[in-house]
Amino acid sequence: MTVDDTGSGADTNGADPGGDPHPLAVRLEALILGAERRYTPFQAARTAGVSMELATRFWRAMGFADVGQAKAFTEADVLALRRLAGLVEAGLLSEAMAVQVARSTGQTTARLAEWQIDSFLEGLTEPPEPGMTRTEVTYPIIELLLPELEEFLVYVWRRQLAASAGRVVQAADDEEMVDRRLAVGFADLVGFTRLTRRMEEEELGELVEAFETTAADLVAAHGGRLIKTLGDEVLYAADDAGVAAEIALRLIETMANDETMPELRVGIAFGTVTTRMGDVFGTTVNLASRLTSIAPRDAVLVDTDFAQELIRTAEAPASEAEAAEAAAAAEKEGEEPPVYRFALQPMWQRPVRGLGVVEPWLLTRRSEATA
């Protein structure tokens, strides 16, 4: 779907457009796409009834390289282009939004596909018998897995779409759909750079995978949303400050009980966040990142707005003195004293690069004796 006036560019399966691709690569492509190569970029755009310019924008947005004038496109490519362009023609999407749809889908699925090939299919296609090559077993394995993986992908996408749509319709107003008040947390492995110099690549990869898996499970289990992972760092968000606090402390506690894991530090901020293509941006996100960088080992630092939100929702007392007063008043009235999940300790104010002076609060879990 793209044109390259110079005739240069990489083929969709990594081969030189002027050379001969590996026969198995061509067979796998036909199997996965459900069609064989038939069109040059110009022919694909013309068949789909769209301009070359728009076809090129869509194709590049999905993350694919120019292919010159090689026959690299299938009926599936033409159909996908026609559908996306049809949404624009019908007025359901603007052209800019359609390009964003292509880019966000391409970026998300590219990572998924790379993981499946690197970690999943690579293991399954180990030759089962001496003398067999991986090439000989790859095709039948993919042929068996493809329909099941496709069904599961669609199922998970629908589940995620339903959850995201539910959050949007619960927003207070239209502006909140894009600029929302969220708790944003960063969890960062301490001393990761030093580890990269001491550990073998395979060990390092296993450590990162274990960290990401543990973090993803904890974030999901307690009602947060994993935004992204960056090797030694995880970014997550939650609508509720109490949820974000619980996730942070669970992360610290879980990692501390694992002798193979480095120490962890977490920073959380609460405020207006701009969401775009599944990511989050804004001052709140920057503040959470800065708090993480200054947090003590195996500790959680939060900003003032986050602390005030925990106090407002009665998840934490403003101070231990206030908690004692509330308990005494409840006892005097013959009532149950308030139970707080978290404790907050104000720390020294300090300048934070790009954000001025902030007052961090140390977040901890209150024991039953003081709750």
| Number of residues assigned to the chain | 371
Distance, CA of 133 to CA of 123 (rounded, Å): 13
Distance, CA of 309 to CA of 291 (rounded, Å): 17
pLDDT recorded at residue 124: 64
Sequence-distant (≥ 6) Cβ neighbours of residue 61 within 8 angstroms: 99, 100, 102, 103, 106
**Burial (CB count <10 Å: 0-12, 13-18, 19+), residue 175:** exposed
Coil, strand or helix at 76: helix
Write the DSSP symbol of residue 354: T
pLDDT recorded at residue 352: 77
pLDDT recorded at residue 120: 66
Which residues of 231-360 form beta strands (DSSP E)?
233-238, 264-276, 279-281, 299-302, 342-346, 350-352, 356-358
297-331 burial code (b ≥16 CB/10 A, e <16): ebbbbbbbbbbbbbbeeebbbeeeeebeebbeeee
220-224-226-231 Cα dihedral, nearest 10 degrees: -80
pLDDT recorded at residue 111: 81
pLDDT tens digits for range 291-349 = 999 999 999 999 999 999 999 999 999 888 888 888 888 778 788 888 899 999 999 88
- List the structure tokens of 363: 């977040």
DSSP 267-291: EEEEEEEEEETTEEESHHHHHHHHH
Cβ atoms of 69 and 42 within 8 Å: the answer is yes
The alpha-carbon radius of gyration of the chain (Å, integer) is 26
Distance, CA of 242 to CA of 80 (rounded, Å): 43
pLDDT recorded at residue 31: 87
pLDDT recorded at residue 273: 92
Cβ atoms of 309 and 303 within 8 Å: the answer is no
Among 193, 176, 322, 185, smallest CA distance to 266 is for: 185
- List the structure tokens of 133: 């090559």
How is the chain split among helix, strand and coil, in percent rounded to 5?
50, 15, 30
Mean model confidence pLDDT for the chain: 83
Q: For the whole prediction, is pTM greater than 0.75? A: no
Identify the segments of the chain with pLDDT beneath 70: 1-21, 119-132, 134-135, 167, 170-179, 368-371
pLDDT recorded at residue 209: 84
